[in-house]
Amino acid sequence: MKILLFCNSGWNIYNFRLNFIKKISKKNEVYSLSSKDKYIYKIKKKFKKNFYVNLNNRSTNILIEFVKFLKILFIVIKLKPHLILNFSHKPIIYGTLASFFSKSKVINVVTGIGHIFSLKKFFTIKILKFLYRIIEYKFNFIIFQNQRDSIFFYKNNFITKKKNIVIIEGSGIETNKFKPNNNCLNSKKIVFTYFGRILPEKGIVEFIKAASILKKKNKNINFNLVGDFNKKLLNKKFVNFVLENIQNNVVKYSPHSNNIINEYKKTSCVVLPSYREGISRTLLEACALKKFVITTNVPGCSDVIKHNFNGFVCRPKSVISLSRSMSNFLKLNHNLIKKMQNRSRAIILRRFDEKIILKKFLEVIEKL
Residue pLDDT, tens place only, 118-145: 556 667 788 888 999 999 999 999 999 9
Nearest CA among 344, 302, 20 for reference residue 174: 20
When pLDDT is cut at 50, 70 and 90, the band that residue 61 belongs to is confident
Report the distance separating Cα 135 and Cα 356, nearest Å: 29
Report the distance separating Cα 112 and Cα 122, nearest Å: 18
When pLDDT is cut at 50, 70 and 90, the band that residue 188 belongs to is low
Can you tell me the mean pLDDT for 15-42?
91
pLDDT of residue 219: 84
Residue 221 has pLDDT above 90, yes or no: yes
Report the distance separating Cα 93 and Cα 97, nearest Å: 6
Residue 222 has pLDDT above 80, yes or no: yes
Q: From the centroid of its chain, how far is CA 313?
A: 18
Helix (H), strand (E) at residue 142: strand 141-144
Residue 117 has pLDDT above 70, yes or no: no
When pLDDT is cut at 50, 70 and 90, the band that residue 15 belongs to is confident
pLDDT of residue 338: 95
pLDDT of residue 187: 53
Query: CA separation (Å) from 330 to 146, 181, 224, 342?
Result: 31, 21, 16, 19
Report the distance separating Cα 121 and Cα 132, nearest Å: 16
Which residues partner with 5 through β-bridges?
32, 85
With pLDDT > 90 as the criterion, what percentage of the chain qualifies? 77
When pLDDT is cut at 50, 70 and 90, the band that residue 116 belongs to is low
Q: Could you give the domains of the chain?
A: 2-172+354-366 (3.40.50.2000), 190-352 (3.40.50.2000)
pLDDT of residue 182: 60
Report the distance separating Cα 67 and Cα 350, nearest Å: 45
Residue 183 has pLDDT above 60, yes or no: no
pLDDT of residue 167: 94
pLDDT of residue 257: 79
Residue 157 has pLDDT above 80, yes or no: yes
Query: What string of DSSP letters covers 311-337?
Result: BEEE-TT-HHHHHHHHHHHHH--HHHH
With pLDDT > 70 as the criterion, what percentage of the chain qualifies? 95
89 and 66 Cβ atoms separated by less than 8 Å = no
Report the distance separating Cα 235 and Cα 238, nearest Å: 5
The residues, ordered by sequence, that sit 6+ positions from 206 with a Cβ below 8 Å of its Cβ are: 273, 317, 318, 319, 322
Residue 6 has pLDDT above 80, yes or no: yes
pLDDT in tens, 258-314: 789 999 999 999 999 999 999 999 999 999 999 999 999 999 999 999 999 999 999
Can you tell me the mean pLDDT for 323-350?
96
Residue 67 has pLDDT above 70, yes or no: yes
Residue count (the chain):
368
Q: Share the mean pLDDT of the chain.
A: 92
Query: What string of DSSP letters covers 163-224?
Result: GGEEE--SS-B-TTTS--------TT-EEEEEES---GGGTHHHHHHHHHHHHHH-TTEEEE
